[in-house]
Amino acid sequence: MQLPRTLPILNIRFTPRLVGSMLALSACLLPGAAAAQEFRTLDPGTTISIRLNRAIDVSRHDDRVYTGIVDRDVRADNGRIAVPRGSAAELYVRVARDNDLILDLESIVANGQRYAIAAEPNRIESDNSLVGSIIGGISGGAVRGQVVRVPRDSVLSFRLERRLDVGVPDRGWDRDGWHYHGRRDNGDNRDFRDDRR
């Protein structure tokens, strides 16, 4: 069987109705892409509940990142889901001006897009530089003080203090099964001491 040397040209008229139908179909097939395009920021005042993947037990700042997942859908003002339940979250222990340690939200990955603060990680810390304030208490743990201790599977609710922008790259690094953000001394981290050794 021989194939034709030329293929017939399809004569399709792109009417407004056809274009609208094609856009609706693409939104159904690619819901993550449509959501990511719609939500370019997560605004201050947004509440995000995070369930921790592992326990946190920290008595000094070491730039380690802790992980969790979003425990409940986060809806935008228009009622659409901005951050679906199960999205990845990163948490970070910061140092306040009074040298207290504070557990803070670092970033969210929703619909394949990373939301974080579009700023240098080595900013001067203060209570008002927090990404998200923890609202409500946590039983059997401490989220601020000389130590930060939070049991695994705890659910923490953060109210965003600062806007999170989409597309902020993760400039962290991995070492010994942990992910780190913040300073990176001479690129090799030789002076980092790990509390868990």
Identify which of 159, 132, 165 has the alpha carbon closest to the alpha carbon of residue 41. Answer: 165
What whole-number distance in Å separates Cα of residue 14 and Cα of residue 86? 39
Looking at this protein, which amino acid is placed at residue 170?
D
Counting every residue, how long is the chain? 197
How many other C-beta atoms can be found within 10 angstroms of the C-beta atom of residue 10? Answer: 5
Looking at this protein, which amino acid is placed at residue 195?
D
The model's confidence at residue 183, banded by pLDDT at 50, 70 and 90, is low
Domain ranges of the chain: 40-178
What whole-number distance in Å separates Cα of residue 152 and Cα of residue 103? 14
How many other C-beta atoms can be found within 10 angstroms of the C-beta atom of residue 89? Answer: 26
The model's confidence at residue 33, banded by pLDDT at 50, 70 and 90, is very low
* Stretch 110-119: mean pLDDT: 87
Question: Under CATH, what is the fold of the domain 40-178?
Answer: Lipocalin (2.40.128)
pLDDT of residue 30: 44
pLDDT of residue 184: 53
pLDDT of residue 117: 86
**Does the global pTM surpass 0.75?**
no
pLDDT of residue 12: 54
pLDDT of residue 62: 86
pLDDT of residue 191: 39
The contacts found for 171-176 with CB under 8 angstroms, 24 or more apart, are 171/121, 172/65
> Tell me: the pLDDT tens digits for 52-99?
999 999 998 888 999 999 999 999 888 899 999 999 999 999 988 888
Query: Residue 47 — φ and ψ, nearest 5°?
Result: -105, 130
| DSSP-H helix ranges across the chain | 16-29, 31-38
Place of tokens 């609202």: 135
What whole-number distance in Å separates Cα of residue 114 and Cα of residue 39? 11
The model's confidence at residue 37, banded by pLDDT at 50, 70 and 90, is very low
Contact (CB, 8 A) for 132 and 144: no
- pLDDT over 50 (residue 18): no
* Stretch 8-31: mean pLDDT: 49
